[in-house]
């Protein structure tokens, strides 16, 4: 639905997306924000890479993957991923997540798929058993 490429200081706010390949995709982003969005039934709710990104107050439901961060530094705040096959995919990123909620994960799904890079979870109701290591990243 929205694809940003190299747009410093971009802000995507209060967007509703249903049934697309990507909800919001940011590539080579710096100092950008995605906030207040509702994303449903997409291949990926948010795919993001860049520096100092903020993904905030998002509700992502029924997607193959809720949020993917790759080659990203930044934060996730108040993000809820519901009924996604992969709630959060952390791939080669440096992220601090606060109030990241992954709920109603399908039987064959994963709450957090960890590839590599620093990941700090603050006030997140995610147990260590819900974090799976990506065998492709090892």
Q: What is the dihedral of CA 62, 121, 74, 83, to 10 degrees?
A: 0
Q: Answer whether 53's CB lies under 8 Å from 32's CB.
A: yes
Query: Residue 120 burial by CB count (10 A; 0-12/13-18/19+): exposed, middle or buried?
Result: exposed
Alpha-carbon dihedral sign for residues 133, 135, 136, 138: positive
Count other C-beta atoms under 10 Å from residue 6's C-beta: 11
Sequential pLDDT tens for the chain (138 residues) = 999 999 999 999 999 999 989 999 999 999 999 999 999 999 999 999 999 999 999 999 999 999 999 999 999 999 999 999 999 999 999 999 999 999 999 999 999 999 999 999 999 999 999 999 998 876
């Amino acid at each position: 639905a929205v694809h940003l490429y190299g747009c410093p200081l971009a802000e995507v706010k209060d967007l509703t997306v249903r049934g697309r390949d990507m909800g919001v995709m940011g590539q080579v982003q710096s100092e950008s924000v995605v906030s207040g969005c509702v994303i449903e039934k997409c291949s990926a709710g948010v795919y993001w890479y860049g520096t100092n990104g903020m993904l905030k107050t998002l509700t992502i439901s029924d997607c193959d993957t809720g949020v993917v961060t790759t080659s990203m530094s930044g934060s996730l705040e108040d993000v809820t991923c519901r009924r996604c096959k992969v709630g959060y995919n952390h791939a080669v990123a440096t992220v601090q997540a606060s109030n990241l909620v992954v709920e109603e994960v399908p039987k064959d799904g994963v709450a957090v798929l960890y590839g590599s890079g620093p990941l700090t979870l603050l006030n997140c109701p995610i147990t260590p058993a819900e974090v799976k290591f990506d065998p492709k990243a090892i």
